Structure 1
Amino acid sequence: MNSLTTAERATAVSATEQFRPAFHYTAERNWLNDPNGLVYLNGTYHLFYQHNPFGPDWGNMSWGHATSPDLLQWEEQPVAIPCDEQEAIFSGSAVFDEHNTSGLGTAGNPPLVAVYTSAYTEVSPLAGRQAQSLAYSLDEGRTWAKYHGNPVLDRASAEFRDPKVFWYNGGAASYWVMVAVEAVERQVVLYKSADLKAWEYLSTFGPANATGGVWECPDLFELPVDGKPEDTRWVLIVNINPGGIAGGSAGQYFLGAFDGVTFRPDSTVTEGHQQDGSRMREYGWLDWGRDYYAAVSFSNIPDGRRIMIGWMNNWDYARETPTGDWRSAMSLPRGVSLTRVDGKVVLRQQAIDPFSPAGSPIFSLGRQPLASGIVELPTAAAVARIDVEFEPGAAKSLGLVLRAGEGECTLLSYDVSEGILRLDRRESGHAGFHGSFPSLETVAVPLTDARLRLQIYLDRCSVEVLAQGGLTTITDLVFPAEASTALAIFAEGEGAHLVALDVVGR
């Protein structure tokens, strides 16, 4: 009989737990993917997500559930909406039906309503279809009941999924809007409803820009440009797999106008460029790394902020990451806004900082010239925020060596002449579990006032880089040895200066 001793079992647990994040959400056990049903209600943020309650691999799709008072400390709750023999519970959204338009609650106790994709099994009368269904909660998300009239929207399609629902306040009329996808057609389809039950078709958007994979997990919301309420754009998020800018899974965004019926983008880059990808870098990408997917935003946040969370993984290798009986984490929540850069409106992302106010400075450097070479810093950085600002000057390249140890490191470098930021995880540690995991991510990052500003969040299995105040982001998983905590700074060529470097730990 081949069985583990207690000591061997403890060693195996330790080997997988070394990668469990300190400040990114993970389920205690089993599989996790797309964030679903992000909603705020009465002081609590609710994170629902795709979850297998029975094992660490994809399957038995149900809605897991976690809650937080601050988007930083999460408490796992019981499974919210479990699969059954007739349907798997695929991705969707949740809304607070404040005026009880659905009739699923009362005026005195309006419901939370989850709008999810029913993926019907072989034993269902709707076998093979994906259609949209409702579940509701009358106790602020603690327990859920499925609506007896499900599905509420059925296009007789096998690939119709991922509804994001919001309340649209129009000049002539107000109603619920559903943004969903016909995934293999690379189309976003929009519907409206007065009660969340009966839906009327509005319009279709796409295919457009990146179409190298199926479209999934859309979102649509309005944001002011540079905080000016008289100048707004609508942001349409469309996640894609495969076909992302760094390979495999990714999220793209379009900016434009929405009149309650049709989304019209300011521009698209589509004609003749889907096959060779020659203009991929002109598209709007949420993140330029390999591990930021299915990102969607919270509803009902009272101060008007728009906050998104993504799944920190990639379908290319998600089933094989070396984390044992738990698998996958969520990204840090990110506040998103719009700003103008050189006359162009672009998306800015800023992390909800897990080190403020709980963190404390553990190492700092002030302004100084950078000689050509590598300088190891006298501090460890495994779970930390690193704020660094460079003046590259005449140097050829510069950057940071992260999570360094014996024979391994993750390299964040900036090529000065090309204006390219690179994150290299090819020698980051345990990288051989899948052929596509070792990777080098690249993105153009222009200097601002001749300076490069980087904010880097290190956790036990991830690196999130926000460049130039969040105008560009790169998110990648890494699986270094537990002892690989060294941090170094480097330059190639003379003429660069470090303006400041601060390491904040917990």
Structure 2
Amino acid sequence: MSSATPVPTPAWRPLIHFTPRQHWINDPNGLVQVGKVYHLFYQHNPQGTEHANMSWGHATSRDLLRWQEHDVALPGREAHAIFSGSAVVDTHNTSGLRQRGDASPPVVALYTGAGHSWQAQYLAYSRDDGETWHFGPDHPVLDEGRADFRDPKVFWHGPSEQWVGAVVYPDERQVALYGSPNLHVWTSLSVFGPAGEAGGIWEVPDLFALPDETGREHWVLKVDVFAGGPQGGTGAQYFVGDFDGAVFTPHGPARWADYGKDFYAAITWSGTPGRCLWTAWQSSWDYATRLPTHPWRGALTLARELGLRRGPDGELWLTQVPLRELENLRDHHLPLHLTPDTPATLPLAPDHAFDLSLSLTPQTVLTVRVTSAAGDELALRADLAHGTLTLERPARGTLAEVPGFGGTHTAPLPLTQGGGLDLRLVLDTSSAELFAGGGLLALSDLYFPEAVPELLHLAVESGEATGQAWTLRGAGGEPGA
């Protein structure tokens, strides 16, 4: 008995978020800047919209918004599937993979090879700035004989003069750290965890340095959880602490990197001087395989600029804001001043995304509603009087059959004593990314409108809000050099 051919859903195709032309996508992999070009790799099934035939898809951009999709970089092998990993530019050729006559240093990827009952870390490389790729030796470069051992995130640690790799032991809820002089031979450094949320398996670790507001450097360890997230199901937690080249020591509690339902497997970009960025898969394993998009299934979040700042409790918190290049897509502009007597209703253009930035006075209660002919498609409420943020997304039509999709997601607002709050909301055709308190809070949710959204309604029940709104041009394809 054959199933009906899926109907294309172009109205749900994001305008400013990355999706492949067709087929399945999940975790971002190998995020690396080579010269002026950003290389995005990602878990990809080049044959269909299910999680199968895992390979590394490949796209490039010069602004992290307009992408050119390429042929699959690392296709699944007969011996193993190509699971998640990372890539670095081996500037000093520690790997020995640069050959005489090469115009630039090699770009080296470490990825998890997944067999039927085992996982180990393998090497691949490019000698032409990430354009074409070659598999390294047939044997793994890091193998502990484990059934589950995956997601290597590699970076150069200058003080200890070595490559450091963070790899996860999923079932043990641990992140194992390894060191290497050459990306081929790895030795164990330490093991972190269990800690924080450990109800579900751990996946996709990352370890990176960030300065605080005074310029002092700290380290952030991020690891995803398969269960126990802030809205149930998957989520991403992080710890702030120190790293001495061998051991990561947290100095505070675990916190959620994102309070939405659709933020998973975030990893930082390698080779981005002067800034720290990451990108995540914008979905949840609770329903990722059931999403009704066609001919693609899955998307990535916008790249986000990362920082560290003291939160309301005086501890260091991770901050996230949309990449600054997003401002280059701003089109029509509208200033806003909202009071209980002056709500606003803005038209939503079907071929544009939307960027809303507001500053709320203390005790303000704000509502933002996206509506279509079918009614409310998304409803946001920021209640500074009670310190809560809620986002409701209905599950009508085909989404009504997707368990766990519809509902209300709640997050605590990062309020200071007697202070107001800034709020930024980026709406695309099928996603909402919200940032509050200078990025101390992030919340990412998919939503699939039953009908084309037509209006954005803004109102305050108390207090006031001022700011501005912009329509955003679709990112389209790769810009010129």
TM-score range, shorter chain: over 0.9
- 2:152 is aligned to 163
Q: What is the rounded CA distance, in whole Å, between the counterparts of 1:350 and 1:392 in structure 2?
A: 22
Report whether the alignment pairs 1:136 with 2:156: no
Q: Identity, % of aligned pairs?
A: 42
Q: 1:91 to 1:183 in 2, by over 3 A?
A: same
Q: Do structure 1's residue 262 and structure 2's residue 247 form an aligned pair?
A: yes
| 1:441 aligned residue (394, 397, 409) | 409
CA distance 1:353–1:323, shift in 2 (3 Å): farther
After superposition, the C-alpha distances for 1:125-155 in whole angstroms (9 at most, x for unaligned) are xxx1100000111111222111125201110
Of the three residues 249, 256, 280, the one matched with 1:310 is 280
Give the corresponding residue for 2:175.
Answer: 188
Deviations 1:367-410 (A, max 9, x none): x52149xx5614226621111222254x6x32211244423321
Partner of 1:151: 140
2:59 aligned to 52, 58, 66, which one? Answer: 66
Q: Mean alpha-carbon deviation: is it higher for 351-360 or for 463-472?
A: 351-360
Report which stretch shifted further, 430-439 or 189-198.
430-439
Q: Structure 1 counterpart of 2:404, which letter?
A: S
Contact 2:111 2:152 in 1 (8 A): yes
Q: Does 1:300 align with 2:291?
A: no
Q: Which amino acid aligns with 1:73?
A: R
Structure-2 change in CA distance of 1:56 and 1:427 (3 Å): closer
**Structure 1 segment 302-451 matched on structure 2, within 5 A:** 303-342=273-312, 343-353=314-324, 355-366=326-337, 368-371=338-341, 375=343, 377-380=345-348, 383-391=353-361, 393=363, 397-426=365-394, 431-447=399-415, 450-451=419-420
Contact 2:33 2:271 in 1 (8 A): yes
Aligned residue number for residue 106 of structure 2: 111
CA distance in 2, matches of 1:350, 1:416: 20
Distance 2:368 2:61 in 1: 33
CA contact (8 A) 2:260 2:443 kept: yes
Distance 2:395 2:366 in 1: 18
* Shift in Å, 1:120: 1.5
For the residue of structure 1 that corresponds to 2:399, the secondary structure is coil
Residue 170 of structure 2 is aligned to residue 201 of structure 1:
no
Q: Which runs of 5+ in 2 are unaligned?
A: 474-481
Q: C-alpha separation between the residues in 2 aligned to 1:237 and 1:499? A: 34
Specify the SS of the correspondent of 2:339. strand
* Corresponding position of 2:259: 288
Contact preservation (8 Å) 1:392, 1:398: no
Q: Helix, strand or coil for the counterpart of 1:356? A: helix
1:497 maps to a residue whose letter is E
Is 1:489 aligned to 2:458, yes or no? yes
For 1:435, give the aligned amino acid.
P
Quick check: 1:464 aligned with 2:433? Answer: yes
What CA distance in whole angstroms lies between the structure 1 residues aligned with 2:303 and 2:46?
24
SS in 2 for 1:432: helix
- What residue in structure 1 maps to residue 37 of structure 2? 44
Shift of 1:429: 7.1
The structure with the largest alpha-carbon Rg is 1
List per-residue Cα deviations over 1:38-74 (Å, max 9, x = no partner): 0010110001000001001100000000100111111
Using the alignment, how far apart are the partners of 1:226 and 1:361 within structure 2?
Answer: 34
**Greater shift in the superposed pair: 215-224 or 384-393:** 384-393
Separation in 1, partners of 2:189, 2:148:
19
Q: Which amino acid aligns with 1:314?
A: S
Q: Classify the secondary structure of the residue corresponding to 2:223.
A: strand
After alignment, is 445-454 or 466-475 more displaced? 445-454
Runs of 4+ in structure 1 displaced over 4 angstroms? 1-4, 427-430
Alignment match of 1:246 (pick from 225, 231, 239)? 231
Q: Following the alignment from structure 1 to structure 2, what is the Cα–Cα distance between the partners of residues 485 and 471?
A: 30
Aligned residues of 1:381 and 1:403 also touching (Cα < 8 A): no
- TM-score normalised according to structure 2 size: 0.92
For 2:96 and 2:456, the matched residues in 1 are separated by: 57
Task: Specify the code of the residue in structure 1 equivalent to 2:412.
Answer: A
- Tell me: higher relative CO, structure 1 or 2? Use CA pairs within 8 A at least 6 residues apart: 2
CA distance in 2 between partners of 1:207 and 1:132 (Å): 22
More displaced stretch, 58-67 vs 343-352: 343-352
| Displacement of 1:94 | 0.5
Tell whether 2:202 aligns with 1:234.
no
- Runs of 5+ consecutive residues of structure 1 not aligned to the other structure: 122-127, 269-282
Residue 111 of structure 1: how far off its partner (Å): 1.0
Query: 2:100 and 2:317 mapped to 1: Cα distance?
Result: 41
Which residue does the alignment assign to 1:216?
A: 203
Structure 2 CA distance for aligned equivalents of residues 485 and 59 of structure 1:
37
Q: CA RMSD in A?
A: 2.2
Structure-1 separation of matches of 2:247 and 2:304: 27
Amino acid at match of 1:28: R
Aligned to 1:271: none
How has the CA–CA distance of structure 1 residues 427 and 58 changed in structure 2, closer, same or farther, with 3 Å as cutoff? closer
Q: 3-state DSSP class of the match of 1:304? A: coil
Does the Cα contact within 8 Å between 2:374 and 2:451 map onto a contact in 1? no
CA–CA distance in 2 between the matches of 1:335 and 1:214? Answer: 27
2:20 to 27, 42, 65: 27
- Tell me, in whole angstroms, the C-alpha distance in 1 between the residues paired with 2:63 and 2:384: 39
Q: Structure 1's 378 and 137: CA in aligned 2 closer, same or farther, altered over 3 A?
A: closer
Residue identity in the other structure for 1:216: E
8 A Cα contact 1:363 1:379, kept in partner: no
- Kindly indicate whether residue 69 of structure 2 is the aligned counterpart of residue 84 of structure 1: no
Q: What one-letter code is carried by the residue in structure 2 that aligns with 1:100?
A: N
Report the 3-state secondary structure (helix = DSSP H, G, I; strand = E; otherwise coil) of the residue aligned with 1:453.
Answer: strand
Q: Is the 8 A contact 1:408 1:429 kept in 2?
A: no
Q: TM-score, normalised by structure 1?
A: 0.88
Cα contact 1:37–1:92 (8 A) shared by 2: yes
